[in-house]
Amino acid sequence: CLLLQFLSYLRACDRLLKQGYEEGQVEEAMEMFQYSEKKAAEFLHLLAQFNDMGFQQNEIKEVLLLCGNQREKALEELMMK
């Protein structure tokens, strides 16, 4: 059972890495979202998007966690900082 969970985690990380995300960010996101590939992928996508808009990565992470990956709410929070 534990081995299956680990293999599932590795496959999810591999899929996210193939989307172009950095290994450290993938591992961090998977950990933050209790190994939910879907939530980690949403987080990484929004992180990259907001980073491209010029926001600071540490602020983006904080806001996304507080807002539960809700794009509009997170963007609003970032704009107010």
State yes or no: pLDDT of 81 exceeds 90.
Answer: no
Fold adopted by 2-80: Four Helix Bundle (Hemerythrin (Met), subunit A) (1.20.120)
- Tokens 């998007």 -> residue: 49
pLDDT of 12 higher than 90 = yes
Judged by phi (left if over 0) then psi (alpha if -120 to 50, else beta), residue 36 lies in beta
Q: What is the mean pLDDT of residues 5-19?
A: 96
pLDDT digits (tens, 9 = 90+) for 24-77: 999 999 999 999 999 999 999 999 999 999 999 999 999 999 999 999 999 999
**Domain-wise residue ranges, the chain:** 2-80
Q: How far apart are CA 15 and CA 7, in angstroms?
A: 12
pTM assigned to the model: 0.92
pLDDT tops 90 at residue 1: no
Instruction: Return the SS3 of 20.
Output: coil
